[in-house]
Amino acid sequence: MSFLVLQQVSKGFGPPEARREVLCGVDLSVKQGEIVAIVGYSGAGKSTLLHLVSGLLKPDAGFVTLGGRVIEGPGTDRGVVFQNYSLLPWMTVAENIRLAVDSVFPDWTEERRSEQVDRHIDLVNLTHARDRRPSELSGGMRQRVSVARALAMDPQILLLDEPLGALDALTRGTLQEEISRICRASGKTVVLITNDPDEGILMADRILPMSAGPGAILGPSFPVVLGPTRDRRALNQDPRFKALRAEVVAWLLGPGARPAVSVSRKLTLPDLEPEDLEIPRPLIGGRRRPRRRSEERRETVDLTP
Amino acid sequence: MKKIHWDAVLMPLVGVTLTLLAWQMISGRTVIRNLADGTVEEVRLGWVQDLPGPLQTWEKTRKYVVEPFAKREELDQGILRFTWYSLVIVAKGYAIALILGTPLGFLLGLSSTFSKMFDPIIQVLRPVSPLAWMPLGVVLFANSGKSANELAALFTIAVCAMWPTVLNTAVGVRAIPQDYLNVARVLKLSRTQTLLKIMIPATLPYMFTGYRLSLGIAWLVIVAVEMLTGRIGIGNFLWNEYNNGLYTSIVLCIVTIGLVGFSLDRAMSLLERRFKSIL
């Protein structure tokens, strides 16, 4: 029985005359407790997909269900970790998490709430930075706060939107392991969005590549057959890791690649067309002189799939 | 120890000295001439004959400055005492402007319908001079007895000083990053919570810019208000001394008004910077 289901979900943006279809009939099902990574090109529509699950966006067609119920809007059963951390800069680490806890558990006693806050700060190893503001933290620490905030809501599903996209490669590696450990320990269902196939393989149970937009779809699902504890250094030599990465990348570059776009402009040589002086010309307004053929700019755009 | 930047201290002093010198040069001076018939005649000489120079100003207005809080008579008080009366009324009017202006700004920023409806009116009312509002204030509060003058003054200050607060708050509300609003939606914050925990803190720096500009205007307006209503204060003092032909006092008032306005602006900008540093 699938926990999170997306069925033939489509989403586009813009007015009808200049509509840009982002997602085109996306199907996805995630089991309870599963960690799924969606890997794809930048701007393909990965975040749009995640926002549909979080309820910040509504699908144009198809539907999204969580535990059998159709998602109508944002809810506290889904914890979201945004790409740019989205911590509130005027609040300390503890206050940021407290805001979430207060909102989700209004019936809890004061002690229980502050215990929940402290436990989750400890979970991401930030007890020493408890009373600091986000501006005093490094990017990696901010993202850990963001994860702690999402987990402190005790959601049924955790949605990570390129959580490590803004970090440097080395911090990224350490944090991948840490977040992966925390997610597994929590036993929650996780949907991870990333543009790095390695990150997906390292953190997830299953990888779904997303084709390049517009009109993105999800590719076949690649199960990650590696064990739950993965050492980055060891993985680099692991033939299963290499094979899996090759498969995912091959799909992304092959069937999922951006359709080749060729733009050609019709070149017209300059002409010497004599002006017809017989045509009366208005003093104000009207064309100043006849339009020449070389001034007609025409573009032909060939979209070859 | 912090290194003192001598340039920052010295250069303004040089500027002030040069200005004083130039002022002294162009201002007029009184010369006593003995006429042929034995009588004595006083004449003003100089480029701008009626402009008192800095030295003359100092000599004539000393008593207002050396005893700044003295109260000799109703119209003969220390300069800071007059300033204090003005500041009190400015503070009241300014408070009214903020109390009315901030929520109005929030409404404009939050609702595009509200903004479309009222923005044109605000843009039309904004450039109206305090001198134009004042008579209306007097008429409106004519029947409120003793406090009529004060109410009219407060009305004028509030209605003139409100607009920067309104407009800056509205801009600030529109500039709240979508990310913060998404957080509010994902955390399922109630409307009040979103307003208190997210919108107001995110708008504070803009609000304070508005507050600073509003305070500047409130201080500008006070002089005009006191001239027209005859309330005791620095503007009124200036007007009386003009009527008495004591031009040195006018210069003193101008300098004082400028210094007070400058101090108010500095104080507000310190506050403003504090709030900006958080974000």
**CA-CA distance, B150 to A26, in Å (whole number)?**
69
Residue B186 and residue A54: Cβ atoms within 8 Å?
A: yes
User: How confident is the model over B166-201, as pLDDT tens digits?
Assistant: 999 999 999 999 989 999 998 888 899 899 999 999
H or E segment and range at residue B165: helix B148-174
User: How confident is the model over A234-275, as pLDDT tens digits?
Assistant: 777 788 888 888 888 888 887 777 665 555 556 656 666 666
Residues of B in contact with A99 (CB under 8 A): 187, 189, 197
Q: Taking 80 as the threshold, does the pLDDT of residue B46 lie above it?
A: no
The CATH T-level fold of domain A2-253 is: Rossmann fold (3.40.50)
Higher confidence at residue B173 or residue A84? Answer: B173
Q: What dihedral angle (degrees, nearest 10) is formed by the CA atoms of B261, B264, B265, B266? A: 120
Residue B182 and residue A84: Cβ atoms within 8 Å?
A: no
Q: Taking 60 as the threshold, does the pLDDT of residue B257 lie above it?
A: yes
Which residues neighbour A218 within 8 Å (Cβ) at sequence distance 6 or greater?
A26, A27, A28, A38, A208, A209, A210, A211
Model confidence band, residue A75 (pLDDT cutoffs 50, 70, 90): confident
pLDDT confidence of residue B15: 93
pLDDT confidence of residue B265: 93
User: How confident is the model over A108-162, as pLDDT tens digits?
Assistant: 999 999 999 999 999 888 889 889 999 888 888 898 899 999 999 989 999 998 8
**CA-CA distance, B267 to B274, in Å (whole number)?**
11
pLDDT confidence of residue A247: 86
Total count of residues recorded for chain B: 279
pLDDT confidence of residue B258: 93
**Phi and psi torsions of A208, nearest 5°:** -125, 110
Looking up tokens 């000799």 gives B72
How wide is the angle at C-alpha A244 spanned by C-alphas A242 and A246, nearest 5°? 70
Model confidence band, residue A303 (pLDDT cutoffs 50, 70, 90): low
Residue B182 and residue A103: Cβ atoms within 8 Å?
A: no
What 3-state DSSP class applies to A29?
A: strand
Interface test with B, best of A76, A87, A90 (most B CBs within 10 A): A90
**CA-CA distance, A38 to A159, in Å (whole number)?**
11
pLDDT confidence of residue A149: 92
Q: Taking 70 as the threshold, does the pLDDT of residue B279 lie above it?
A: no
CA distance B241 to chain A (A): 51
What 3-state DSSP class applies to B246?
A: coil
Q: Provide the ipTM.
A: 0.75
- In this complex, is the C-beta atom of A84 within 8 Å of any C-beta atom belonging to chain B? yes
* End-to-end CA gap in chain A: 37
pLDDT confidence of residue A191: 92
CA-nearest residue to A83 within chain B is B179
CA-nearest residue to B177 within chain A is A86
pLDDT confidence of residue A170: 81
Q: At what angle do helices B234-243 and B247-278 cross, to 10 degrees?
A: 160
- Global pTM value: 0.77
pLDDT confidence of residue A123: 87
CA-nearest residue to B185 within chain A is A74
- In this complex, is the C-beta atom of A136 within 8 Å of any C-beta atom belonging to chain B? no
Q: Measuring CA to CA, how many Å separate A136 from each of A5, A91, A142, A163?
A: 39, 11, 9, 19
User: How confident is the model over A155-180, as pLDDT tens digits?
Assistant: 999 999 888 877 888 888 888 888 88
B147 DSSP assignment = G
Residue A74 and residue B201: Cβ atoms within 8 Å?
A: no
Which among B187, B189, B278 has the least Cβ separation from residue A90?
A: B278
Residue B188 and residue A75: Cβ atoms within 8 Å?
A: yes
Q: Measuring CA to CA, how many Å separate B240 from each of B102, B228, B234, B251?
A: 36, 11, 10, 13
- Mean pLDDT, rounded, of chain A: 82
Residue B185 and residue A56: Cβ atoms within 8 Å?
A: yes
Residues of B in contact with A77 (CB under 8 A): none
CA distance A88 to chain B (A): 7
Model confidence band, residue B213 (pLDDT cutoffs 50, 70, 90): very high
Which among B180, B202, B279 has the least Cβ separation from residue A86?
A: B180
The structural domains of chain B, ordered by start, are 71-278 (1.10.3720.10)
Residue A103 and residue B279: Cβ atoms within 8 Å?
A: no
Highest mean pLDDT among A7-16, A191-200, B107-116: B107-116
Q: Does residue A255 contact residue A211 with C-beta atoms inside 8 Å?
A: yes
- In this complex, is the C-beta atom of A156 within 8 Å of any C-beta atom belonging to chain B? no
User: How confident is the model over B231-252, as pLDDT tens digits?
Assistant: 888 888 888 888 888 888 888 8
Using beta carbons and an 8 Å cutoff, which residues of B are at the interface with A?
Answer: 179-180, 182-183, 185-189, 193, 197-198, 201-202, 204, 278-279
Least confident of B65-69, B86-90, B105-109: B65-69
What 3-state DSSP class applies to A113?
A: helix
pLDDT confidence of residue B249: 87
pLDDT confidence of residue A260: 57
H or E segment and range at residue A303: strand A299-303
Q: Does residue B189 contact residue B127 with C-beta atoms inside 8 Å?
A: no
Instruction: Tally C-beta pairs within 8 A across A and B.
Output: 47
**CA-CA distance, B225 to B228, in Å (whole number)?**
5
Q: Does residue B238 contact residue B252 with C-beta atoms inside 8 Å?
A: no
User: How confident is the model over B74-84, as pLDDT tens digits?
Assistant: 777 888 888 99
